[in-house]
């Protein structure tokens, strides 16, 4: 079952639900940029493991809708770019988007692929292209890196 539903975090009708199995659904809202799944609940081992790894801003932005906990997404597409939550705290944050650029032949040795001898990344994230977006402009951030048409 894949379908669009209303997001229980922001109310957008652009929340994509995917059934992983009979017990687990994943949720990704293109309206607010937050994601969740059926295991994102206080006391669930999966949730506790996720929270341990999150940056402080992401921990501050966690949202409990009463059924599951939502967290901001982090999109990292090697040939397109990244979109991530950024800011000093809950009261002042938004989305940052960074474009990927091709690594030149002369610079490739600066970008080795860990654990793979003599293999190098073909693209890198160019922090000089960073553009910031307000919280509700998640779709615009995705468009900026070329995931969606502008």
> pLDDT per position in the chain (150 positions), as tens?
459 999 999 999 999 999 999 999 999 999 999 999 999 999 999 999 999 999 999 999 999 999 999 999 999 999 999 999 999 999 999 999 999 999 999 999 999 999 999 999 999 999 999 999 999 999 999 999 999 876
The rounded distance, in Å, linking the Cα atoms of 40 and 123 is: 33
The rounded distance, in Å, linking the Cα atoms of 148 and 10 is: 21
The rounded distance, in Å, linking the Cα atoms of 55 and 74 is: 11
Please report the pLDDT score of residue 19 as a whole number: 92
**DSSP codes, 22-50:** TTEEEEEETTT-EEEETT-STT-HHHHHH
pTM of the model: 0.89
Q: Alpha helix (H) ranges present in the chain?
A: 45-53, 56-61, 138-144
Please report the pLDDT score of residue 2 as a whole number: 59
Edge-to-edge strand ranges of the sheet holding 92-102 = 74-77, 81-89, 92-102, 123-134
User: Are 51 and 59 spatial neighbours (Cβ–Cβ below 8 Å)?
Assistant: yes
Please report the pLDDT score of residue 18 as a whole number: 95
The structural domains of the chain, with segments of one domain joined by +, span 1-72, 74-150
Please report the pLDDT score of residue 115 as a whole number: 93
The rounded distance, in Å, linking the Cα atoms of 113 and 60 is: 32
Please report the pLDDT score of residue 149 as a whole number: 75
């Amino acid at each position: 079952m894949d379908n669009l539903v209303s997001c229980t975090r922001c109310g957008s009708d652009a929340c994509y639900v995917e059934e992983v199995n009979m017990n687990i659904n994943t949720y990704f809202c293109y309206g607010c940029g937050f994601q969740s799944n059926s295991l994102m609940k206080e006391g669930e081992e999966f949730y506790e493991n996720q929270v341990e790894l999150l940056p402080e801003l992401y921990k501050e932005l966690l949202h409990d809708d009463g059924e599951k906990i939502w967290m901001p997404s982090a999109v990292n597409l090697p040939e397109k770019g990244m979109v991530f939550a950024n800011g000093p705290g809950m009261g002042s944050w938004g989305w940052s988007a960074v474009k990927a650029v091709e690594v030149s032949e002369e610079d490739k040795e600066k970008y080795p692929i860990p654990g793979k001898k003599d293999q190098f990344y073909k693209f890198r994230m160019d922090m000089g292209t960073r553009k910031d977006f307000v919280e509700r402009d998640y779709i615009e951030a995705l468009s900026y890196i070329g995931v969606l048409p502008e």
